[in-house]
């Protein structure tokens, strides 16, 4: 049976999306306060997460559900490797260590891949649709805050093989809605998308400690006192 899975995912994760944007680290980011060491920790966490997600999606590329949204052209691992080389140097692989919250995120992806691979839809949707939407806002903020140019340090946000992001997102939503699922599985996928947001929030909060040390408690408290107006939620829905 077919449901409007794209709509259910968007509406079912609105609250989680707002909660994620209210994490202190993200609030500061949206207000243009980005600290290099904290940002590169985020990039390194994403490297492990996307590497696992993309490996599992590849393994299930012929799955009747996952095959519908298997688009290698949006894979992020290679782009993240470029950013890691920029932030850590040529020996970046020797310097990276997956943090506890990163490990938990990776383990969740690996777990559902082995037990109920349909739930990977939730992680693919949450990550890639976010990157193609609100992620483009974050790219511009990072470029200004860290004085970056010519794509240096922000390859993660560059989708060189996607000619038109809006058209691609429409195609992705169409493919989501073509997947034949029962109502119970649809609910599980929406629940898993909320789990994905929670895992992201845990990663942000983990990085927040070093971020506060870098910018100072007073500045952090000032920046996070009020809800930011730079929300990415509207952009993500387009």
CATH of the domain at 11: 1.20.910.10
Does the residue 237 lie in any domain?
A: no
Judged against a pLDDT cut of 70, whether residue 209 lies above it is answered with yes
Judged against a pLDDT cut of 60, whether residue 157 lies above it is answered with yes
Residue 152 CB coordination number (10 Å) = 14
Residue numbers of the domain that contains 211: 5-232
Whole-angstrom Cα Rg for the chain: 17
* Closest C-alpha among 123, 3, 104, 4 to residue 56: 123
Domain tally, the chain:
1
Q: Are 39 and 236 in contact (CB under 8 A)?
A: no
Does the residue 39 lie in any domain?
A: yes
38-48 burial, b if ≥16 CB within 10 A, otherwise e?
Answer: bbbbbbbbbbb
Does the residue 37 lie in any domain?
A: yes
Place of tokens 């903020």: 141
Where does the pLDDT of residue 1 fall: very low under 50, low under 70, confident under 90, or very high at 90 and above?
Answer: low
Judged against a pLDDT cut of 60, whether residue 230 lies above it is answered with no
pLDDT at 231: 52
Does the residue 54 lie in any domain?
A: yes
Q: How many residues does the chain have?
A: 238
Q: Tell me what percent of the residues of the chain surpass a pLDDT of 90.
A: 91
Does the residue 164 lie in any domain?
A: yes
pLDDT at 3: 75
Does the residue 132 lie in any domain?
A: yes
Helix (H) / strand (E) containing 55: helix 36-59
The predicted-structure confidence for 130-141, as pLDDT tens digits, reads as follows 999 999 999 999
Does the residue 238 lie in any domain?
A: no
Whole-model pTM? 0.92
Does the residue 147 lie in any domain?
A: yes
């Amino acid at each position: 049976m077919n449901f409007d899975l794209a709509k259910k995912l968007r509406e079912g994760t609105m609250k989680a999306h707002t909660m994620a944007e209210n994490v202190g680290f993200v609030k500061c980011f949206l207000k243009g306060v980005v600290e290099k060491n904290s940002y590169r920790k985020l990039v390194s966490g994403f490297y492990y997460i996307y590497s696992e997600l993309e490996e599992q999606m590849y393994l299930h590329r012929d799955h009747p559900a996952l095959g519908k949204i298997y688009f290698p052209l949006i894979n992020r691992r290679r782009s993240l490797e470029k950013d890691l080389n920029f932030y850590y140097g040529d020996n970046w692989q020797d310097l990276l260590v997956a943090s506890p919250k990163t490990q938990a995120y990776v383990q969740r992806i690996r777990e559902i891949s082995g037990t109920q691979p349909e739930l990977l839809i939730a992680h693919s949707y949450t990550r890639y649709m976010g990157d193609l939407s609100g992620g483009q806002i974050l790219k511009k903020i990072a470029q200004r805050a860290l004085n970056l140019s010519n794509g240096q340090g922000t390859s993660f946000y560059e989708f060189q093989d996607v000619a038109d992001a809006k058209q691609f997102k429409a195609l992705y939503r169409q493919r989501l809605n073509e997947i034949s699922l029962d109502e119970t599985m649809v609910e599980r996928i929406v629940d898993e998308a909320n789990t994905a947001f929670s895992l992201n929030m845990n990663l942000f909060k983990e990085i927040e400690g070093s971020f506060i040390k870098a910018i100072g408690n007073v500045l952090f408290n000032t920046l996070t006192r009020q809800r930011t107006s730079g929300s990415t939620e509207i952009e993500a829905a387009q």
